[in-house]
Structure 1
């Protein structure tokens, strides 16, 4: 049987504490990058159409329950051009497409039935990556068209 004794000096103890701190910091950084955007754990898992419709209804939207279109695409590894402008709109509502760079995203487009003073012609796009909502917008095309966030608009009294 072999017994080995290790002499612990202050220098070795300090080095062990620094090394443990560096490993802990590295773990925190790695887990922080893997976790995506802030609040991602608060985002609901939307793996089914029923869950997506319920999520949008919680935001105040009344929509036709079946999507008009479903489109899958690969987000580029780095956002550029129009993606940057669109992501600014998303950041204003708590989303961030950068967390999905290089990943497959699915866009579900629904018909909105309760947009204030717009009985028809309004659509809602919801973007899902790995079953989490990562972007969304409300659009209306035409002469007085618009693009806005998923925040339900406040009704104004025209009296």
Structure 2
């Protein structure tokens, strides 16, 4: 009888773990878009633990075709729930912020891309030739 109870508990534990894992990797397509006005952008980064200083906000055009580093960037963003493919050829607002508390010797920048104030991309970028690009939302969830 005791072995049966242990076996049932083990099966229930495995089932609960499977449900938990499946819920964590659900696509983010069902989430409503995050809209950030000029006052909310800094707060969005601060909430994620970044001390920042604004560098610039300017309009840029998303390329029609993604090649090289932009393909890599779009793939990284896709894993974080952002679909840059939906904005090919469109003008977006690119806001850059110097990250003051990342640590290390390299300069690190936070980048937000917005289309009509809707956040369509968020990354932390190491500013050197072989530097990293990390999706901002995934960094926040891991901490």
Give 1 or 2: higher helix fraction: 2
Please indicate, yes or no, whether the TM-score normalized by the shorter chain is above 0.5.
yes
Aligned to 1:128: 114
Contact kept, 8 Å, 1:113 with 1:120, in 2: the verdict is no
Q: Distance in 2 between matches of 1:81 and 1:142?
A: 20
Q: Distance in 2 between matches of 1:44 and 1:154?
A: 20
2:32 maps to 1:45:
no
Aligned to 1:94: 81
Give matches, 1:8-157, under 5 Å.
38-39=29-30, 41=32, 43-48=33-38, 50-64=39-53, 67-76=54-63, 78-82=64-68, 83-115=70-102, 117-118=103-104, 121-142=107-128, 145-150=131-136, 151-152=139-140
Question: How far does residue 142 in structure 1 lie from its aligned partner after superposition?
Answer: 3.6
Cα deviation, 1:11-55, whole Å, max 9, x if unaligned, reads xxxxxxxxxxxxxxxxxxxxxxxxxx81452x321121x210111
Q: Distance in 1 between matches of 2:42 and 2:52?
A: 8
Cα deviation, 1:125-156, whole Å, max 9, x if unaligned, reads 1111111111122122347732222124968x
Question: How far does residue 74 in structure 1 lie from its aligned partner after superposition?
Answer: 2.1
RMSD: 2.6
Give 1 or 2: higher strand fraction: 2
* Structure 1 alignment gaps of length 5 or more: 1-36
* Structure 2 alignment gaps of length 5 or more: 1-27
Contact kept, 8 Å, 2:124 with 2:134, in 1: the verdict is yes
Q: Which structure has the larger Rg? A: 1
Aligned to 1:11: none
Give the structure-1-normalised TM-score: 0.60
Q: How many residues align?
A: 113
